[in-house]
C-alpha cells in the first residue's frame, strides 16, 4: 500500500518518525511512503518508497523536504500535481486545521477521493465542517475515509466503537477532548493564574500557534461535532454547539471546585433528550466519582453511555503529535487489514 | 453462521435474551442459534434456527430447555452427540468455570475445534488453565477461538488491543477484574463489615454459588493469566500469580486507605522488570489520581502501559451476565466480519 503524505508539520513529522521506528512492521505489511507534499518546503516522490530516515535528516539540515533527491526520489514542483499524477493508494492528510474554511484540507481530501484513493486525516476542522460531503463522496467512490486522529489523539475512540461496541447505540457522550485546556486547568490547580499557565504551555511549545482555538473551546467543539455525527448519527453542525472556553476561568473557580470535592474540566457533552439535542463544550465541575475527573495534564478521554452495556470509558495519557500520529498509523493498518 | 450454545446458566440465558433483543441485527448478519445444550435441562436442535423467545418462555414454565419441540426442533439425548453430529459453525461456550480442572469446558472446546468449528467462550477457568493447548489446536485446525467475555465482561479489552492498539507492545498491566470484589469493597467503604457486605452481595444474587472463588482472588488471578498470555505474550500459569484476596480486609484497612487519600481495591498487576516478571492479585491502596481508583460497585477496568502512546485506560460500569453475554455477541459479530 503506497502512502502519500500531505503536510509535514508537527503531526506529519511525528508520523514520519513513527514510520522510521516501525519500519520492520511496515515492511511486513507492505506499506511504504511514496510521496510527501508540503506547502513551502517542497514535495518529493519516489515510487519505490522514500527513505524516511534520510529525508528527515536532510530536512533538519536544509529545512527542505525535497533536499533528498537521491535513490530514485524526484522533486515535484506543485502539490496539486502530486494528487493528480502520481501513483498512490492512500492519502494521509496532516495539513493544519483551519477552523474558518477547513481548507486546504477539504479540497485535498475531496480530490483524492475523486481519484479513487482512500483518505486518512488528522484534520479536525475539515472533518467537522465537511463530514457529510466527505463521507458521501467516499461512499460514492467506494473508498474509505478514516479519521481516528481527529479526536482523542492516539486513544482509540472510533475504532473502539466500530470494533469493540458493534450493535451498541451511544445514548450520551461526555469527553475531555482538548489536551491543552486540560493541561492549563491542571497547572492552575497547582496555584498558577490562567495567564501563567498559558505562558507555561506556550513556553514548552505545547500549544498551537493560535492557542485561542484551544482555549476558547473551538477545537473541542469541532471534535464534539465529529463525535456527534460519527458515533451518534446526529445531523449537527458547529453552530449548534454551545461553546464556552476556559479564557475566563479564575483561580477562584478552580478553588471552588476543589472545595466542592470536584475538579473543573472543559467538558464536551452530547445529550439526546426526549425531543431535543444538547451539545455543549463548557467548563464543568466533575465530582471525583466521575470517570473523567482524574484526567490530568495532557490526558484526554471519553465516556460513552451505551444502550447495551451501560457506561464505557476510554482515556489516554497523551495527546501530542506523537500520539496523534499513532492514530494515523492505526488507520493505515486497519485499511490494510480490510 | 449457525451457532451452537453450550450451557444455559446465568450467562447463557443472558446471551439468549440478547439474541432475542437483537434479532433484527442477527437476521441481517445471517446469524442463527441452531442448538442449545445443557447439562441437566435437555438439549435441542433446529437446523432452521431456534425460536429463542419461545424457548425461553417454555423454559421458564417447565424448567426444561427441550420443552420446545415444535417448529422443526428436535430433542437430542446427549450433548456429546450435538458436538459430534449436528451442523454448526461456531460453538458458544457458557459452561460454568471450574477452577480445578477447567472441565467440561476444555473437552468441549477441544472437540469443537477438532471438528473444525470456531469457538467463542466465556470460560475464564478453562482459558487460564489451557490457553496454550486451546490456541495451538485452533491454529492447527485453522479456526478462531475468541474469549473477550473471559475478562472485563462487556468492556472490550482484547478487541481494543487487537483493533485499537495494533503494533503496540503492552509493557505493564493493571486491572480491577473482579466485579464482585469491587462491589464488596465499595459497600465496605460505606461502613459495612466484610461479612455484611458479602451477605448483601449474596442476598442480591450477584455472587457466584461459591463466592470464595471471587473473594480469594482466584477468579481475578485466572483473568490476569489470560491477559498476561494473550496481550503480553508471557508464558505463565496460575502457579506464578501471587494471590491475596479480600477475605481479610477489615473496615479499618478501608478507613486507613481513605485517610491516606486513596481507595482500597483488589488490583491485578502484570509487571515486566529487567530480569523477572511480577504477577500479583492484591488489595492495594490506589491514590485518587489512579485511573482505576474511581471504579465503584460492579465496575471493572484495565490500565495498559504501551510502548507507543503511553497509558490507555478502559473501563465499564457493569460486569454481570448481561454485559458478559454482550462480549459473546461482539465476538460472534467480529467472526462474521472477518
Q: Do A316 and B315 touch (CB under 8 A)?
A: no
Query: Mean of the per-residue pLDDT values for chain A?
Result: 94
Q: Do A313 and B330 touch (CB under 8 A)?
A: no
CA B139 from centre of chain: 22
| pLDDT computed for residue A206 by the predictor | 64
Average pLDDT over residues A115-130: 97
Higher-confidence position of A80 and B91: B91
Q: Do A291 and B288 touch (CB under 8 A)?
A: no
Q: Complex ipTM above 0.90? A: yes
Asked if B68 reaches chain A (Cβ–Cβ under 8 Å), the answer is no
B28 is in an annotated binding site: no
| pLDDT computed for residue B203 by the predictor | 84
Which of these ranges, A146-160, B64-78, B103-117, B261-275, has the smallest mean pLDDT?
Answer: B64-78
Segments of chain A assigned to CATH 3.40.50.720: 2-153+321-337
Segments of chain A assigned to CATH 3.30.360.10: 159-316
Q: Which CATH superfamily is domain B159-316 in?
A: Dihydrodipicolinate Reductase; domain 2 (3.30.360.10)
Contacts of B153 in chain A (CB under 8 A): 309
Which residues in chain B belong to E strands, given as ranges? 2-6, 32-37, 43-45, 74-76, 90-93, 118-121, 145-146, 170-176, 242-243, 262-272, 277-287, 300-306, 311-316
CB contacts < 8 A, A to B, total 123
Higher-confidence position of B144 and A69: B144
What is the C-alpha separation between B102 and B108, in angstroms, rounded?
10
Name the minimum distance, in Å, from the CA of B289 to any CA of chain A: 5
- A2-153+321-337 placed in CATH 3.40.50.720: yes
pLDDT (tens digit, 9 = 90+) per residue, B285-322? 999 889 999 999 999 999 999 999 999 999 999 999 99
Confidence of residue A84 (pLDDT cuts 50, 70, 90): confident
Confidence of residue A275 (pLDDT cuts 50, 70, 90): confident
Which residues in B142-194 belong to E strands, given as ranges? 145-146, 170-176
Asked if A315 reaches chain B (Cβ–Cβ under 8 Å), the answer is yes
CB neighbour class for A27 (10 Å; exposed up to 12, middle 13-18, buried from 19) = exposed
> Of the candidates A164, A167, A318, which has its C-beta nearest B25's C-beta?
A167
Residue ranges for the known binding site of A for NADP(+) are 7-12
Residue-wise DSSP of A152-192: STTS-SHHIIIIISTT--EEEEEEE--HHHHHHHHHHHTT-
Judge whether residue A207 has pLDDT over 70. no
pLDDT (tens digit, 9 = 90+) per residue, B37-59? 999 999 999 999 999 999 999 89
What is the C-alpha separation between B303 and B294, in angstroms, rounded?
13
* B220 neighbors B266 (Cβ within 8 angstroms): yes
Q: Active site includes B223?
A: yes
pLDDT (tens digit, 9 = 90+) per residue, B152-178? 999 999 999 999 999 999 999 999 999
Contacts of B311 in chain A (CB under 8 A): 316-317
| Substitution target from B11, B261, B308 for chain A, most A beta carbons within 10 A | B308
Asked if A26 reaches chain B (Cβ–Cβ under 8 Å), the answer is no
Average pLDDT over residues B263-276: 92
| pLDDT computed for residue A104 by the predictor | 95
Active-site residue identified among B223, B229, B263, B265: B223
| pLDDT computed for residue B87 by the predictor | 94
Asked if B262 reaches chain A (Cβ–Cβ under 8 Å), the answer is no
| pLDDT computed for residue A264 by the predictor | 97
Judge whether residue B209 has pLDDT over 70. no
Judge whether residue A131 has pLDDT over 70. yes
Average pLDDT over residues A305-330: 96
Q: Highest mean pLDDT range out of A68-82, A216-230, B190-204?
A: A216-230
Block residue for cell numbers 458478559: B324
What is the C-alpha separation between B304 and B75, in angstroms, rounded?
47
Query: Mean of the per-residue pLDDT values for chain B?
Result: 94
Asked if B101 reaches chain A (Cβ–Cβ under 8 Å), the answer is no
Judge whether residue A338 has pLDDT over 60. no
pLDDT (tens digit, 9 = 90+) per residue, B61-91? 999 988 866 678 888 888 888 988 899 999 9
Element spanning A60, H or E: helix A52-62
Q: Which of these, B300, B239, B310, B228, lies nearest to B271 by C-alpha position?
A: B228
pLDDT (tens digit, 9 = 90+) per residue, B6-32? 999 999 999 999 999 999 999 999 999
* A182 neighbors A300 (Cβ within 8 angstroms): yes
* B99 neighbors B125 (Cβ within 8 angstroms): yes
Amino acid at each position: 500500500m503506497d502512502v502519500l503524505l500531505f503536510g509535514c508539520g508537527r503531526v506529519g513529522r511525528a508520523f514520519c518518525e513513527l514510520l522510521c521506528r516501525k519500519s520492520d512492521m511496515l515492511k511486513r505489511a507492505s506499506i511504504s511512503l511514496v510521496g510527501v507534499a508540503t506547502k513551502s518546503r517542497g514535495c518529493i516522490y519516489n515510487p519505490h518508497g522514500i527513505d524516511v530516515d534520510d529525508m528527515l535528516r536532510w530536512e533538519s539540515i536544509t529545512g527542505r523536504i525535497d533536499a533528498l533527491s537521491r535513490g530514485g526520489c524526484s522533486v515535484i514542483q506543485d502539490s496539486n500535481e502530486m494528487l493528480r499524477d502520481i501513483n498512490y493508494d492512500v492519502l494521509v492528510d496532516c495539513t493544519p486545521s483551519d477552523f474558518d474554511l477547513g481548507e486546504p484540507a477539504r479540497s485535498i481530501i475531496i480530490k483524492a477521493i475523486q481519484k479513487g484513493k482512500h483518505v486518512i486525516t488528522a484534520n479536525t476542522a475539515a472533518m467537522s465542517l465537511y463530514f457529510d460531503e466527505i463521507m458521501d463522496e467516499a461512499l460514492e467512490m467506494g473508498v474509505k475515509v478514516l479519521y481516528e486522529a481527529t479526536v482523542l489523539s492516539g486513544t482509540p475512540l472510533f475504532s473502539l466503537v466500530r470494533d469493540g461496541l458493534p450493535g451498541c447505540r451511544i445514548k450520551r457522550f461526555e469527553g475531555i477532548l482538548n489536551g491543552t485546556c486540560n493541561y492549563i486547568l491542571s497547572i492552575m490547580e497547582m496555584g498558577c493564574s490562567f495567564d501563567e499557565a498559558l505562558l507555561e504551555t506556550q513556553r514548552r511549545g505545547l500549544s498551537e500557534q493560535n492557542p485561542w482555538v484551544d482555549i476558547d473551546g473551538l477545537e473541542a467543539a469541532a471534535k464534539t461535532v465529529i463525535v456527534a455525527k460519527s458515533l451518534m448519527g446526529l445531523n449537527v453542525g458547529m453552530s449548534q454547539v454551545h461553546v464556552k472556553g476556559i479564557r475566563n476561568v479564575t483561580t477562584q473557580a478552580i478553588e471552588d471546585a476543589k472545595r466542592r470535592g470536584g475538579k473543573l474540566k472543559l467538558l464536551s457533552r452530547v445529550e439526546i433528550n426526549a425531543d431535543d439535542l444538547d451539545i455543549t463544550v463548557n467548563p464543568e465541575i466533575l465530582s471525583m466519582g466521575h470517570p473523567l475527573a482524574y484526567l490530568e495534564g495532557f490526558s484526554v478521554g471519553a465516556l460513552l453511555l451505551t444502550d447495551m452495556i451501560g457506561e464505557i470509558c476510554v482515556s489516554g495519557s497523551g495527546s501530542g503529535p506523537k500520539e496523534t500520529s499513532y492514530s494515523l498509523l492505526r488507520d493505515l493498518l486497519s485499511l490494510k487489514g480490510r
